Structure 1
Amino acid sequence: MKNSGEIVLETELPKAPPSPAPQPASGLPGHLQDLSDRARGYVEAASSANTRRAYASDWKHFSAWCRRSNLTPLPADPQIVGLYITACASGTAERGMKANSVSTIERRLSALTWNYTQRGMPIDRKDRHIATVLAGIRNTHATPPRQKEAVLPEQLIAMLETLDRGSLRGLRDRAMLLIGFAGGLRRSEIVGLDLGRDQTEDGRGWLEILDKGLLVTLRGKTGRREVEIGRGSSDATCPVVAVETWIRFARFAKGPLFRRVTGEGKDVGPDRLNDREVARLVKKTALAAGVRGDLSEAERAEKFSGHSLRAGLASSAEVDERYVQKQLGHASAEMTRKYQRRRDRFRVNLTKASGL
């Protein structure tokens, strides 16, 4: 373990992860300079803006802990990283903060691994100082994941009825809820949509309106995937009609699909919505519709989020499981089953089938 014996100045530590693309030499020909610039652009495209922000924040958190502990974050030292995740698990990594959850610690460790790799200092996560400590943290502190409540079709319809159909905001929110549910989309995928292909730098996908429905193309970590959203059985619950209506009254022809409504609800701005707006929308409409009225308001607010739409489709679509798996973009059927809140777990009874 490296101890510098002195406090490391904050100015010595980068506030955000540097680009791994090599910096061009001073005499680099112009055409290679262009390639270098493009390489940095591709590096940015390799991970989402949210991921990069989270990794930068975790590196800053680690660096601050190192300063307070009179340690240096560079070069990579597995023993220092092991002590850091121990501090995170025990609640001593930051003054006045509670212990981090196992999922947060694993994310922080992934961020450190990424940051060290970009600096040309790969760190071995299998090193005993890291792997053994992390295994102990998981065994001691791991808890079952808290799944968000699935929004079921009858609940979604009630939520839609709480929205004002005569306002731009109501039309937008209606389209967001319906396309999020019918597409099984993540909240970042909902707000990341553009009206057409390659219209914005921060877009995560685009849509095409066809006779039979919407074809949504999404960019992901493993490439592009297509999501087919068919038309509904009635205009009142049809995601395609909702999107078409929003576009028509919002009066824009390109750029982000879901934007801020300004001017006392009379104007549509150019800015893309933040993905947190999807979670707020689901919570607000679920509360207004009285969904899960058997629970307190605080409990209901905790149970619903943007993920509730995705889980709702998986739980309610009465089709072959492989179609749900494809719609959600899951690599395995096991992951899809985790989203199926109403799935009959005892549909196949092996106890009786064995003769008992």
Structure 2
Amino acid sequence: MTDNTAADNGLPEILPSPAPLPVPPGLPAHLRDLTDRARNYVEAASSANTRKAYASDWRHFSAWCRRQNLSPLPPDPLVVGLYITACASGSDGVTAGRRGLKGSSVSTIERRLSAICWNYVQRGQKLDRKDRAIATVLAGIRNRHAAPPLQKDAILPEDLIAMLETLDRGTLRGLRDRAMLLLGFAGGLRRSEIVGLDCGRDQTEDGRGWIEVLDKGLLLTLRGKTGWREVEVGRGSSDTTCPVYAVETWIKFAKIIKGPLFRRVRGQGKDVGPDRLNDQEIARLVKRTALAAGVRGDLTEGERAQKFSGHSLRAGLASSAEVDERHVQKQLGHASAEMTRKYQRRRDRFRVNLTKAAGL
């Protein structure tokens, strides 16, 4: 360990994007273009959201080091071990001196540790996570502070229908929100995938996929966590619950020809702008309509607000669709069947009763 801060050493505290590949001295001119392209590929190796999160975590770690008169560089397992201890105990500088507040969750600590390792790699350095100063401390934190995962409630079909009834079909905003809810549910989409859709292929630089309107439904081409995949969204049994009809209606009245599919409604709800929606809008939409529809009315309003998010639509499809597991896995883009089974928690709960099967 050292008592010099990163700033004293003239080292950057955050790294918002991957470090560029080193350029060998005397590189021939005809290879310089390839070097520029290599830099672009390095940039594409991680998403902008990932880099933003990792930069935030690195700032948190660097600020803690400064307060302790330590340096984040070069990598020191003992410093990192002390940092995650401070995070777990609530003495990381955020909750220090404030009684009654808990330390960071285990998942937050593990994410920050991953961010620290990533930042070191970008600087051509390596942190040994298996060093006992880190590994043993982290194992103890998991044993002491680990809690069951908090899963959002799945939006079931009857919930979704009630939520749709809270939207005004006579407004552009109501038509847009209706299309997003139905498409998100029927496609089993992540919120970033919903707002990342374009009306056609290669229409925007920030798009994460596009739609094709076919006779039998919508074909979505998506770039997700597991790479590119196609998602088929068939037409519903009636126009009121059909995701394809909802999307077609939104496109028609919003007069969208190309570019982002779901956009901001402006001008007191009478005009559609060019800007793509932020994925947080999906989470807010699900919460707002679930509350307005009285979903889980047995809980307080505060408790209900914590139960639902954009993920509830995705979980709702997996929990409701009575089809072979492999079809759900393909639709959701899961790499493993085990992950799909976690999403089917409500559908399969108590379906197999081992108590009765044992003769009791």
Find the aligned partners of 2:258 and 2:29 in 1 and give their Cα distance: 34
Secondary structure of residue in 1 paired with 2:149? coil
CA contact (8 A) 2:178 2:246 kept: yes
Match of 1:308?
312
Of 318, 328, 334, the residue aligned with 1:324 is: 328
Match of 1:101?
105
Amino acid at match of 2:89: S
Of 273, 277, 299, the residue aligned with 2:281 is: 277
Match of 2:300?
296
**Alpha-carbon distance change, 163 to 30 in structure 1, aligned in 2, over 3 angstroms:** farther
**Alpha-carbon distance change, 289 to 39 in structure 1, aligned in 2, over 3 angstroms:** same
* Between 212-221 and 261-270, the greater mean CA deviation after superposition: 212-221
> How far 1:179 sits from its partner (Å)?
0.6
Match of 1:172?
176
Find the aligned partners of 2:26 and 2:263 in 1 and give their Cα distance: 45
Q: Across the two proteins, how many residue pairs are aligned to each other?
A: 355
Amino acid at match of 1:249: F
Find the aligned partners of 1:30 and 1:168 in 2 and give their Cα distance: 54
CA contact (8 A) 2:62 2:72 kept: yes
* Between 325-334 and 235-244, the greater mean CA deviation after superposition: 325-334
RMSD: 2.0
Alignment of 1:90-239 (within 5 A): 90-96=89-95, 98-239=102-243
**Alpha-carbon distance change, 94 to 197 in structure 1, aligned in 2, over 3 angstroms:** farther
> How far 1:337 sits from its partner (Å)?
1.7
TM-score, scaled to structure 1:
0.94
* 1:337 and 2:341 are equivalent in the alignment: yes
CA contact (8 A) 2:5 2:72 kept: no
> How far 1:184 sits from its partner (Å)?
0.6
Gaps of 5+ in 1: none
> How far 1:189 sits from its partner (Å)?
1.0
> How far 1:351 sits from its partner (Å)?
5.0
**Alpha-carbon distance change, 109 to 225 in structure 1, aligned in 2, over 3 angstroms:** same
> How far 1:268 sits from its partner (Å)?
1.1
Find the aligned partners of 1:154 and 1:242 in 2 and give their Cα distance: 18
Encode CA deviations 1:51-109: one digit per residue, 9 max, x unaligned: 11101111111111111111111111111111111111111112336511111111111
Secondary structure of residue in 1 paired with 2:229? strand
CA contact (8 A) 1:21 1:36 kept: no
CA contact (8 A) 1:13 1:63 kept: no
Gaps of 5+ in 2: 97-101
Secondary structure of residue in 2 paired with 1:219? strand
Secondary structure of residue in 2 paired with 1:265? coil
